Amino acid sequence: MVIDGALIPTWLSASLWLLLFATCLLALRYADWRAVIQVPARLHLLLGGALFCIILWLLSVRVIPGLWIHFLGITTLTLILGWRFALLAGTLAVLVHTALIGQGAASIPPAWLLSVAVPATVSRYLVFRLRQLKYRNLFIYMLGAGFGGGLLSVLALAATALPLLWVIGQRAWVIDALASWPLISLLLFPEGFINGMVVTTLTVFYPQLVKTFDERHYLDDG
């Protein structure tokens, strides 16, 4: 989701910029760069993941003046790259995407929060919770983390976006969104399907490329 920068108060933009910088610095500091250097395919995944998001986000709909809605794809990015690299690739995608749609610097941090940070965090937490289950089945990962992660990322985005829109003074948008809440299903199931399909394909044919997939946990009988 992208909000027109002209609607973002200066104090909010500055606060979110600080959050963006702090999070990305920590991700840069603690990301496993040796694994990327040792396996060049992972660097291709990092850059390719950013490109995937840019292309997916360009298929956006300007539902009302000042607000763009698009599919996320961040669940897939998080499952493949891990949380830290997903944040970095997603941040790169946000920078490019906002420039391509003609938005300025003020729109970048809210777009990053809604389209990258929140969905990536929710998706990674879901993977952690699924691993706590006593059942060990490949479909728990593919459908639970892939399809389910896509669904939850949209719900988390909505839960974050509504208070944010209220804070910036767009209360009419919030009221309209709550009044037409069933329309969120138009994003929920396609988002789940896109992420579930990609994650399932990569998990079956290229499991070594999916960082959050543990073969021993989901496939070993013991």
Region 119-147: mean pLDDT is 92
The per-residue pLDDT for 221 is 60
Say whether pTM exceeds 0.85. yes
- 10 confidence band (pLDDT: 50, 70, 90): very high
- Structural contact between residues 80 and 209, judged by C-beta atoms closer than 8 angstroms: yes
The Cα–Cα gap between 74 and 81 comes to 10
Domain boundaries, the chain: 2-219
**Fold of domain 2-219:** Arp2/3 complex 21 kDa subunit ARPC3 (1.10.1760)
Residue 206 has φ and ψ, to the nearest 5°, of -135, 60
User: Which tens digit of pLDDT belongs to each residue from 47-91?
Assistant: 999 999 999 999 988 888 889 999 999 999 999 999 999 999 999
* Cβ contacts of 56 within 8 Å, gap of 6 or more: 70, 71, 72, 73, 194
